[in-house]
Structures are given as C-alpha cells and as structure tokens.
Amino acid sequence: MLKSESLRLGFGCSGVLGKRWFSEEKCATILRAAIDAGIVHFDTAGFYGEAEQRLGRVLKDVPADNVFISSKTGTRFDASSNKRGRVVKNFSQNAIIADVEASLKRLHRERLDILYLHGPDTDQIAASEQVFSKLKAQGKIRYAGVCGHGKYLDMAAGVPYIDVVMGKYNILNQAHETVFAKAKKNGKTVVSIAPLMGGLYRKGLFLPTTRSQFWYLARALARNRSDLWQAHTRLNMPKGPGQSQAGQALEFVFENKNIDIALTTTTREDHLQASIAIAQQTP
Ligand SMILES: NC(=O)c1ccc[n+]([C@@H]2O[C@H](COP(=O)([O-])OP(=O)(O)OC[C@H]3O[C@@H](n4cnc5c(N)ncnc54)[C@H](OP(=O)(O)O)[C@@H]3O)[C@@H](O)[C@H]2O)c1
C-alpha cells in the first residue's frame, strides 16, 4: 500500500521540529535532505506545534505522487483562556472533518494519504467507520489509521475499516509484537514509532548540550522515566564493529518483518543519513 516499500524508514515532522524556538530554516533543511535521500513517507499532526505548516511549505513544490503524508486527528489543545494548553480529545465527526480540512490547508494538499485517530478508545474506534468512509468517498483521505497502544491498537488490528495501525516498538519494548502480527495477518499496514525510544537510546542523553537535547531529555523524564534505567544499561551492551547504539536499535526494529515502516525523527542531517544507511541495509 505504501509507496516507500523499498525504504522502510519514514520521517516524523514532530517534536522539536515543530517548536517555534527551533528555526524553520533548519527544519526545512532536514526535511529537504530526507526527500533528497529518498524518504517518501512523512508523518505529522496538527497538534505538533508548527510542524504541519513547516512540512506543508517544504512540500508545496513536491508533486503529491512523490510523497506519502500522514496526519492525525482527535487530540487538540484547549484554546479556552482558563485551560490554555491543556490537551483535550474530540473524536466527533465534526471535529474529525474540521481537523482534516485544517491539515489539508496547512499541508497544501488535496488529500491525506493516511488519517490516524490519535489515541482513541474502543468506542471511539467503533464510531469512526462512518466518518472514515465519508472522507474516503470525498477523496480527502486514502487510508484510515489508528495510532495507539494496548487493547485499543489490538481492536484496530481486527476491524475491517482500519487500514493502518501505528504503535510503539523498539529494542526495549515489544509489547505490540502480537498486535502487529495480527494486523499484518488481517492485511493491514504496520507503522512503528519510537524506534530510538524518542531519544532514550542515544549516547549523551544525560549530558545535553543543545536546546533540542534538553527538550528530548525533559520529554524522556516526563514520559519514559521507567525505561530510562533499562535504556542506560542497554547503551553499554556490546555492539557490532562500526555499529552505533542507534544503529543497533534501528536494526532491531527492521528485523521485525511485520513492520512496514519505522518512523523516526531527527534534527540532524548526520543522524538522518545514518538511519537511512541502516534502513538500506535491512530491506
Ligand atoms: N513517540 C511518540 O509518542 C509518537 C506518537 C505518535 C507518533 N509518533 C511519530 O513517530 C515519529 C518518531 O518519533 P519518536 O519520538 O518516536 O522518534 P525516535 O526515532 O524513537 O527518537 C528520536 C530521537 O532519536 C534521536 N535520533 C534520531 N536518529 C538518530 C540517529 N541516527 N542516531 C542517534 N540519535 C538519533 C533524535 O535526536 P537528534 O535530533 O539529535 O537526532 C531524537 O532524540 C514522530 O516524529 C511522529 O511522527 C511518535
């Protein structure tokens, strides 16, 4: 289904790349480098700060057939003055349609290749069939996806109106192994996220020197505290000659043949090229 079948690496325009304090020029440079290097699958979301607009501006001159774009719906920041910044969920039909329209506008596209429900519960997945088929019939989206975890992702792997499942999978956490196998058996596309544990699996995590590295460390402490020690221990395990920790972690993900695309993100061109080289070695 996905055009990037030859390269199983996709690129996430998210996190630091969507922050105002991270320059748009640097973001555009890394996105263009990804396109030039043959990455066609780009993932983003309306709630990733400036990420969607920035990706849209870079893609403006790239023909729609040359890239594969996914975005997400259901999560938003409460705009009301007393709750500013609070994350709220809304999977109503109207909210989903409004999210799609806003994403298409920001991305300068006529259609999204995949629209993911971002973290829905089982009722919200069950209620999505109608809106997904409406959006497909209108040509606004090609495929319907669920980005989630545990029993929610397991449900998505089994329902006929979901085409793509997106979940975490990496060298520290393979909890979705059976969900991915089920999804594959049911003919769905499997997209894995956090192949580098959102930066946990990176030498120097605890010695940040740039604002981006501080941000990744803060996010790791906020979201993945329980994995930190394990990641730290794993970092000191022997690796193959010439292999980096990140390379080892990526290879591990690509060894799972149920995974069609592993999505990673980076602010650095050398990291991008290193990840692409690993993806090319493990087709
Ligand atoms: N994680 C989630 O909760 C989540 C949820 C929904 C969707 N997604 C999607 O998945 C994408 C991947 O995000 P993720 O946070 O899960 O990414 P990840 O690839 O697991 O981690 C990214 C981190 O790894 C570092 N890195 C990247 N390539 C590297 C390399 N070759 N060598 C060493 N370090 C490297 C980056 O730092 P540098 O900038 O220094 O390279 C960054 O700190 C997102 O962009 C988004 O589209 C993620």
Q: Specify the CATH number for the domain of residue 166.
A: 3.20.20.100
* CA 117/CA 125 separation, integer angstroms: 8
The pLDDT value recorded for residue 217 is: 84
CB 146 within 8 A of CB 176: no
Rounded to two decimals, the pTM is 0.94
Q: Identify which of 29, 54, 196 to mutate to test ligand 1's pocket (most ligand atoms within 8 A of the CB).
A: 196
> Does residue 23 have a pLDDT over 90?
yes
Q: How many domains does the chain contain in total?
A: 1
Give the H/E segment covering residue 10: strand 9-12
What is the tens place of the pLDDT at every residue in 180-232?
999 999 999 999 999 988 877 777 777 888 888 888 888 888 877 777 777 77
> Does residue 250 have a pLDDT over 50?
yes
CA of 261 to the centre of ligand 1 (A): 14
Give the H/E segment covering residue 197: none
CA of 93 to the centre of ligand 1 (A): 30
Pocket flag, ligand 1, residue 266 (CB < 6 Å) = yes
Helices marked H in 122-210 — which ranges? Answer: 122-126, 129-137, 150-156, 177-185
> Does residue 261 have a pLDDT over 60?
yes
Rg of the chain (C-alpha set): 18
> Does residue 4 have a pLDDT over 50?
no
> Does residue 3 have a pLDDT over 70?
no
**What distances in angstroms separate CA 48 from CA 51, 68, 75, 228, one per listed residue?**
5, 18, 10, 24
Q: Which domain holds residue 117?
A: 3-281
The pLDDT value recorded for residue 238 is: 59
Pocket flag, ligand 1, residue 248 (CB < 6 Å) = no
CB 50 within 8 A of CB 20: yes
